[in-house]
Amino acid sequence: MWPSVIFAQLGWSYFWYAAPLVAVISLVYAATRHEDLRSIFRHAFGCATWIVGLMVVVGVVMAVISAWL
Amino acid sequence: MSAQSASESPKPIELKDPVMAAFLAWLIPGLGHLYQGRIAKGILFLVGILGIFMYGVYLGGDREVGWGRVVYMSFRPEDQRLHFLCQVGVGLPAMPAVIQAVRVRSERAPLWGCLMAPPRLPSDRSSDRPTLDDLHKRLHHYFELGTLYTMIAGLLNILAIYDAWAGPVLEESVKEEKEEKDSSPAEVESSSGGSDVKASESGAEGDCASKPG
């Protein structure tokens, strides 16, 4: 219950602002490591997944910590 | 997969004049790659980097206070806008901020509806332009979001500039393969690429595909 309260206070719509950044950062980073478009998109997908995963983990950890405070 | 890729010679990338390409890449994101004939990557950088920069300019302003108020150059003691050091990485699209800063410093009115104009200092009573506090009050969190978007665009373009100058960072497997070839004298003689030509990994795509992650 508490994480949803925290995110409700923050506003879910804020998270949409991260989507273009994650997409562009992943694509540009991947493009600096490959020349072939298929390799770029494959690498970018992995990179975006990694970033989103890290954000979720950090978010959960922060939510848990804030629940104890 | 690896054996197949090893048998194929890496496709060279002609970097043309790397310094010119790097300058063009700074001037307009992706322009350096277009100059080198790397059309797909040029378009990707142009759309991606310029897209988030423009979105940040849109978020950080409105019709009343002017667009792009998050991108401004100011190194006044009361307002040190260090964010601009990141934003200027995007090149020409951030240049209106320099023009506006020069105009404001010489006590002339900003142009283009205050596009990228520095805010008025609280101590300055000579004009009715908004102060930094006014901009924060008016734009709320969009001021921070716009700043973030434009800063990231500038920083990402530095990666693109490096890519235009030196070519893509090679994957480890391709590096090892290249080192093996370089260590063989016959291969060194047969390779005719100059210093401005860098091997791409497109010939060794199978290696990348087989790598986990």
Q: What is the ipTM of this complex?
A: 0.80
Cβ neighbours of A48 in B, within 8 Å = none
For a pLDDT cut of 70, what percent of chain B falls above it?
A: 74
Determine, yes or no, domain membership for A2: no
Residue span of the structural domain in which A25 resides: 16-68
Residue span of the structural domain in which B124 resides: 15-166
Determine, yes or no, domain membership for A4: no
Model pLDDT for residues B13-68, shown as the tens digit of each residue: 778 888 999 999 999 999 999 998 889 999 999 999 999 999 999 999 888 888 98
Determine, yes or no, domain membership for A45: yes
Determine, yes or no, domain membership for A59: yes
- As a whole number of angstroms, the distance between CA B90 and CA B34 comes to 16
Determine, yes or no, domain membership for B104: yes
Domains identified in chain B, total number: 1
Which tokens go with B145?
A: 């979001």
Model pLDDT for residues A12-30, shown as the tens digit of each residue: 777 889 999 999 999 999 9
Contact check, Cβ <8 Å, B163/A37 = no
Mean pLDDT value across residues B67-89: 90
Domains identified in chain A, total number: 1
Determine, yes or no, domain membership for A26: yes
Q: Which residue of A has its CA nearest to B48?
A: A24
pLDDT of B8 > 70? The answer is: no
Cβ neighbours of A32 in B, within 8 Å = 159-160, 162-163, 168-169
Binning pLDDT at 50, 70 and 90, where does residue B204 land? very low
Q: Which residue of A has its CA nearest to B37?
A: A35
Long-range residue pairs from A57-66, CB within 8 A, at least 24 positions apart, any chain: A60/A3, A63/A2, A63/A3, A63/A6, A63/A7, A66/A6
- pLDDT for A6 equals 57
pLDDT of B172 > 80? The answer is: no
Smallest CA–CA distance, residue A25 to chain B, in Å, is: 7
Of A24, A31, A43, the CB nearest to B41: A31
Determine, yes or no, domain membership for A51: yes
Determine, yes or no, domain membership for A5: no
Mean pLDDT value across residues B176-204: 53
- As a whole number of angstroms, the distance between CA B178 and CA B191 comes to 11
Model pLDDT for residues B118-136, shown as the tens digit of each residue: 998 888 877 788 888 888 8
- pLDDT for B121 equals 86
- pLDDT for B198 equals 56
Nearest to A44 by CA among A24, A30, A25: A30
Determine, yes or no, domain membership for A1: no
Entry pTM: 0.77
Contact check, Cβ <8 Å, B208/A31 = no
Determine, yes or no, domain membership for B209: no
Contact check, Cβ <8 Å, B200/A35 = yes
Higher pLDDT pick, A4 / A33: A33
Contact B75, B26 (CB under 8 A): no
